[in-house]
Amino acid sequence: MLTFIALSDPTRRRIVELLAEGERSAGELGECFDISAPAISQHLKVLKEAHLVQVRAEAQRRIYALDPTGLEELEDWVHRIRGFWSERLDVLEKRLVANPEKKKRRPT
């Protein structure tokens, strides 16, 4: 699950947000931040490995664009978790409404 690691960094998250607006070259992305070009390049590498961005060469420029794969994986994970949770919510809600004060001890 490289997706979460990739997005845990604010700079990388910002890059993804920028690319959501449209593709950009590595240099153009770099201009949006106060860090060195190598730093940006490393961030892009991480995002690429997490399948969050794609690269395309155009002359000397590397044009970066969003890759839907990583986002889908992320969304799937969240839905899987929320799916379970929703089922339990139904039960929980009913119980809360039925007996709001009761505290139950559950055996190990």
Partner DNA sequence: CTGCTATTTAAGTCCGGACCTAATTAAGCG
Partner DNA sequence: CGCTTAATTAGGTCCGGACTTAAATAGCAG
Is 9 an interacting residue with respect to DNA (CB under 7 A)? yes
- Closest separation between CB of residue 24 and its own copies, Å? 9
Residues in the chain: 108
- Of 38, 101, 103, 107, the residue at the interface with its own copies (CB under 8 A) is 103
Side-by-side strand order, sheet with 53-58? 24-25, 61-66, 53-58
Is 4 an interacting residue with respect to DNA (CB under 7 A)? no
The HSE-up count of residue 71 (CA atoms within 13 Å, CB side) is 12
Is 27 an interacting residue with respect to DNA (CB under 7 A)? yes
Is 43 an interacting residue with respect to DNA (CB under 7 A)? yes
> How distant is the alpha carbon of residue 20 from its chain centre?
12
Sign of the CA dihedral 21, 23, 24, 30? Answer: positive
CB atoms within 10 A of CB 42: 14
- Answer whether 66's CB lies under 8 Å from 54's CB: yes
Where does this chain bind DNA (CB under 7 A)?
5, 8-9, 11, 25-28, 30, 34-46, 55, 57, 59-62
Q: Which residues bind its own copies (CB under 8 A)?
A: 1, 4-5, 7-8, 10, 13, 16-17, 20-22, 28, 58-59, 66, 68, 71, 74-75, 78, 80-82, 84-85, 88-89, 103, 105, 108
